[in-house]
């Protein structure tokens, strides 16, 4: 294998975004308070309140698995359950972290086209729960943008929220790619979160350009009670919090987070057009954010891998994911398309 190319493997194979790096260097120029008492952490909390236009509670943890698990644990007791999509990260990619951190709460995975929750399926799942004998449904969780590269519209989220409210369920949003969803919808962050009744958002920065550190945003401050203890006990209180916070401050200042997401989404549109031009691979789901899912013949995949391109099979038997990041260049996309053309 001559080269290793990770540009389309994931959005966490990308480097740290220059503005995040710059802020990190600035934070590194002096001493500051520890355990989140520093000015960078304060600045991030202020920026989040500005961007979401609400006085909310903001916490920083090391990664998205911890953010999701701890956010859900805050809403659930061990005998509760969380309704989520069968392809959701909390269900498929967190090694039981949410169940562990909740102390036993069960995830109830439901189907839905294109990675989005289908309320009829959710309803059917709820009906299967036997009062007292099944864990009590407590939270409805969505991922925005979804794991399959689609984006819930504002109306879809409004319907889910209304459903959750009518069943007394909390509304959790895994926003590992929240920025890409906002870039795709072109709306204000509040319009698809607290204004629709989202209770807690896990806001991802790693895939948007930090080196680590995800935010947990509680839109109802009372829901955050004693969360600081929960995070600390789970080993998720960084003593040098400022070095997680500073890159975030870099992203959230002057709209960098949105520009990074817009770049990633636009790159996916460009790549999708190229792939259609070449022909031979069919899209598995509508590509609405920065991911492209393709049905690909095994031989083509093998040959692309041999040319150095890393990317993953996501769904059996033949659905593969190409992911565009804030950093991917037109040249990379052209080179991938040229290899596709040569191999088809
Ligand atoms: C990447 C990702 C996360 C966070 O994963 P970590 O590896 O724990 O940081 C959470 N949810 C979704 C949908 C993701 O894609």
Q: CA angle, 319 as apex, 318 and 320 as ends, to 5°?
A: 115
Task: Give the residue among 215, 206, 170 at the shortest CA–CA distance from 66.
Answer: 215
> Rounded to the nearest whole angstrom, what is the distance from the C-alpha of residue 204 to the centroid of ligand 1?
8
Burial of 158 (0-12, 13-18, 19+ CB in 10 A): middle
Pick the CATH number of 256-343 from 3.40.50.300, 3.90.1150.10, 3.30.70.240, 3.40.640.10: 3.90.1150.10
What integer is the mean pLDDT of 285-312? 97
> Ligand 1 atom closest to Cα of 207?
1
> Rounded to the nearest whole angstrom, what is the distance from the C-alpha of residue 176 to the centroid of ligand 1?
6
Q: 1 by DSSP, 3-state: which? A: coil
Residues recorded for the chain: 344
> Rounded to the nearest whole angstrom, what is the distance from the C-alpha of residue 156 to the centroid of ligand 1?
22
Question: Distance (Å, rounded) from C-alpha 75 to C-alpha 168?
Answer: 12
What integer is the mean pLDDT of 179-185? 98
> Ligand 1 atom closest to Cα of 88?
13
Question: Distance (Å, rounded) from C-alpha 237 to C-alpha 66?
Answer: 11
CATH number of 18-254: 3.40.640.10
Closest Cα to atom 5 of ligand 1: 64
- Residue 2 binned pLDDT confidence (cut-offs 50, 70, 90): low
Whether the per-residue pLDDT at 1 is higher than 80: the answer is no
- Residue 344 binned pLDDT confidence (cut-offs 50, 70, 90): confident
> Rounded to the nearest whole angstrom, what is the distance from the C-alpha of residue 67 to the centroid of ligand 1?
9
> Rounded to the nearest whole angstrom, what is the distance from the C-alpha of residue 343 to the centroid of ligand 1?
32
Ligand 1 site residues, Cβ closer than 6 angstroms = 63-65, 89, 143, 147, 174, 176, 206-207
The CATH 3.40.640.10 domain(s) of the chain lie at 18-254
The CATH 3.90.1150.10 domain(s) of the chain lie at 256-343
Question: Distance (Å, rounded) from C-alpha 67 to C-alpha 109?
Answer: 19
Listed in sequence order, the residues at least 6 apart from 70 whose beta carbon sits closer than 8 Å to its beta carbon are 61, 101, 216, 227, 230, 231, 234, 236
Please give the pLDDT value at position 296: 97
Predicted confidence (pLDDT) per residue in 192-204, tens digit: 999 999 999 999 9
Q: What is the mean pLDDT of the chain?
A: 97
pTM: 0.98
Whether the per-residue pLDDT at 299 is higher than 60: the answer is yes
């Amino acid at each position: 294998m001559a080269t290793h190319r990770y540009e389309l493997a994931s959005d966490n194979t990308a480097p740290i975004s220059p503005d995040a790096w710059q802020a990190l260097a600035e934070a590194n120029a002096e001493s500051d308070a520890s355990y989140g008492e520093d000015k960078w952490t304060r600045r991030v909390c202020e920026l989040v309140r500005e961007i979401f236009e609400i006085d909310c509670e903001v916490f920083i943890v090391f990664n998205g698995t911890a953010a999701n698990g701890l956010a859900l644990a805050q809403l659930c007791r061990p005998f509760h359950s969380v309704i989520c999509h069968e392809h959701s990260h909390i269900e498929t990619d967190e090694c039981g972290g949410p169940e562990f951190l909740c102390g036993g709460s069960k995830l109830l995975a439901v189907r839905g086209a294109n990675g989005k929750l289908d309320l009829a399926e959710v309803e059917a799942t709820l009906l299967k729960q036997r009062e007292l004998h099944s864990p009590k449904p407590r939270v409805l969780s969505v991922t925005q943008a979804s794991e399959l590269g689609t984006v819930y519209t504002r109306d879809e989220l409004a319907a889910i929220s209304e459903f959750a409210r009518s069943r007394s369920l909390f509304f959790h949003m895994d926003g590992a790619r929240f920025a890409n969803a906002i870039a795709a919808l072109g709306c204000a962050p509040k319009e698809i979160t607290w204004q629709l009744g989202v209770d807690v958002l896990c806001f991802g920065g790693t895939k948007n350009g930090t080196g680590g550190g995800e935010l947990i945003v509680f839109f109802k401050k009372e829901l955050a009670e004693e969360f600081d203890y929960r995070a600390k006990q789970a080993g998720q209180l960084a003593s040098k919090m400022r070095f997680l916070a500073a890159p975030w401050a870099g992203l959230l200042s002057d709209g960098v987070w949105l520009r990074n997401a817009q770049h990633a989404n636009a790159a996916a549109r460009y790549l999708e057009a190229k792939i259609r031009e070449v022909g031979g691979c069919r899209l598995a789901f509508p590509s609405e954010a920065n991911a492209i899912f393709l049905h690909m013949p095994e031989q083509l995949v093998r040959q692309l891998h041999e040319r150095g391109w890393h990317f993953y099979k996501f769904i059996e038997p033949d659905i593969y994911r190409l992911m565009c990041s804030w950093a991917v260049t037109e040249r990379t996309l052209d080179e991938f398309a040229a290899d596709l053309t040569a191999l088809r």
